[in-house]
Amino acid sequence: MSQGVQKVYSLLYNLCVIPLLFIFFHLAKYFNPKIKKGVAGRKKLFQILEQKVIGFSRNHPRVWIHAASVGEFEQARPLIDALTNQVPHIQIIQSFFSPSAYEKISEVPGIQCITYMPFDSKKNATRFLNILQPDLAVFVRWDLWPNHLWTLRKKPVPAFLINASLHDRSLRNKSLLRGFNLSLFQGFEKIFVVSEEQKDRFKQLGIEENLIVSGDTRCDQVWQRSQEKLAEETRLRTLFKDKLVFIAGSTWEDDELHLILGLSELIKRKPEFLCILVPHEPTPKNMQRLGNLLNKWQLKYIFYSELMEQSTLEVPCILVDRVGILANLYKFAHIAFVGGGFGQGLHNVLEPAVYGVPVLFGPQIAKSWEAQELLRSGAVIQIHSGKQFIAEINKLLNSRAKRKEIGRRAKSWVLSHRGATEIILKEILDYI
């Protein structure tokens, strides 16, 4: 793409899109608590950032990694660990778009600075990068901000995109937006795609060079995470002994409404059945909503925060009111359901799969390449209704052999797809 065409896209973006985005965020903050936090958190961003990097040395390599939120950050973790181990004195700056990620992730080994990604104006992008002065930049998945990418290209600072994918209904492939998105993707030194199929989709967009099939770092990340232990693990094993554990993780209201009838029937029919519900956002409001739902169906429950006080487990349901432990909890599951599939999009199915747990999820999987691959491999179960949930979970409960076989396929798929971090690291080390 010629520089002249890119300048046209830049002009249109900064004259038309940026003012609308600015107005949207500053109006939406009055109605959306998350956006309000994000706007407030970016006040004095540059002054705070200048203080954070004041002790950085120009004699040591400096890497900027950007992730939209917690999920994308977890995808970057294996690469952060590998860079820290391979490059002495490396200085890593981690930026986030989401306020929830910025608040939750305060101190991480290997990261010297955590910051918000500023609003994507041309002026902000220039000031941000002048303060950071990175030697290279890494973007995770699809949170791409044009002015920051174009400014990196001008400096020039090599930029890399990891875990790249384009789902079949992606707006990036629509004719009106294709040229604009091509101008973004062509700015990357290398694009690390998750599969050969995804490589073909990027080629259809017009990206012919610098595409590398690396796989997905999440396979490395969930494997590493599966080797960790919760502080309360021994206690949990005692409490869950002789229980048939079902975990519904990262659920939204739409998911829960499809599950509740089946869960009610199972709990009444199987006294050993234990249901652990982990909402995607365990806010007080969601905890109260879930509690009300369980009360409506006369299902007794306790909160996870109360669990350690129990000598025995006398209730059939646990509501998890703590963040950051779901991936580790899956190891106790005999069957898992991953939420998001009855709403905007499926959450991480690899977290339970790595433990050899049979996984169910809803119909919305267009944005999850790994769920589609696992489904083709017969390693997961897709459901489209509450009625189908009851039928499928009964099949699993009635056949230990079926549970074992589906779980074995899922774990085998995850383990066979490890290695993305090593491929990515080998390529980007040449630029440090």
The predicted pLDDT at position 255 comes to 96
Q: Between the CA of residue 386 and those of 178, 256, 267, 382, what are the distances in Å?
A: 38, 9, 15, 12
Checking DSSP bridges between strand 136-140 and strand 113-116, what pairing results, if any?
unpaired
The predicted pLDDT at position 432 comes to 86
The predicted pLDDT at position 102 comes to 84
The predicted pLDDT at position 338 comes to 98
Residues of the chain with CATH 3.40.50.11720: 3-216+419-431
pLDDT tens digits along 214-267: 999 999 999 999 999 888 999 999 999 999 999 999 999 999 999 998 899 899
How far, in Å, CA of 318 to CA of 347, rounded? 20
Residues of the chain with CATH 3.40.50.2000: 230-416
CB atoms within 10 A of CB 79: 27
| Mean pLDDT in order along the chain per 10 residues (432 residues) | 76 93 92 89 93 90 94 94 94 92 80 94 97 97 93 95 85 72 91 94 89 96 92 91 95 94 90 95 92 94 92 93 93 97 92 98 93 95 95 94 97 97 96 90
Is the bond preceding 352 in cis, omega lying within 30 degrees of 0? no
Q: What angle do CA 387, 393, 397 make, to 5 degrees?
A: 145
The predicted pLDDT at position 344 comes to 79
Assess if CATH 3.60.20.10 describes domain 3-216+419-431.
no
**Assigned fold of 230-416:** Rossmann fold (3.40.50)
Taken in order 151, 98, 222, 348, is the CA torsion positive or negative? negative
The predicted pLDDT at position 363 comes to 96
* Cβ-contact 75, 221 below 8 angstroms: yes
